[in-house]
Amino acid sequence: MPVATPKQYEAMLDAAQKGNYAYPAVNVTSITTINAALKSFADAKSDGIIQVSTGGGQFASGLEVGDAAFGAIVLAEATHLLAEKHDVLVALHTDHCHPEKVESFLKPLLEASRKRIAEGKGPLFQSHMFDGSVVELDENLKISKELLKECAELDIILEVEAGCVGGEEDGHDTSGLPIEKLYTTPEDMVEVYEALQPIGRFIFAATFGNVHGAYKPGSVKLQPTILRDGQKAVTDKHGDEALMDLVFHGGSGSELNDIRETLGYGVVKMNIDTDTQYAFTRPIVTHICANIEGVLKIDGEVGNKKTYDPRGYLKKGEASMAARLVQAAEDLCSNGKSIFGTV
Domain with residue 204: its CATH number is 3.20.20.70
Residue range 224-251, pLDDT digits in tens: 999 999 999 999 999 999 999 999 987 7
**Is residue 330, in this structure, part of any structural domain at all?**
no
Task: Determine the pLDDT at residue 250.
Answer: 78
pLDDT band at 192 (very low <50, low <70, confident <90, very high): very high
Give the integer Cα–Cα distance in Å for 25 and 249. Answer: 10
Q: 136: domain range?
A: 6-272
**Is residue 70, in this structure, part of any structural domain at all?**
yes
Give the integer Cα–Cα distance in Å for 163 and 302. Answer: 55
Determine the average pLDDT of the residues in 164-169. Answer: 52
**Is residue 42, in this structure, part of any structural domain at all?**
yes
**Is residue 142, in this structure, part of any structural domain at all?**
yes
Per-residue pLDDT at 168 exceeds 70: no
Closest to 192 (Cα-Cα) out of 225, 237, 256, 223: 237
**Is residue 321, in this structure, part of any structural domain at all?**
no
**What is the number of structural domains in the chain?**
1
Torsion, Cα of 81, 84, 86, 92 (10° steps) = 60
pTM of the model: 0.92
What percent of the chain lies above the pLDDT cut of 90? 84
Question: Are the C-beta atoms of 160 and 109 separated by less than 8 Å?
Answer: no
Task: Determine the pLDDT at residue 271.
Answer: 95
Q: How many CA atoms lie within 13 A of 309 on its CB side?
A: 7
**Is residue 69, in this structure, part of any structural domain at all?**
yes
Task: Determine the pLDDT at residue 167.
Answer: 47
Which positions are catalytic?
Answer: 95
The answer to whether the Cα torsion of 300, 306, 311, 315 is positive or negative is negative
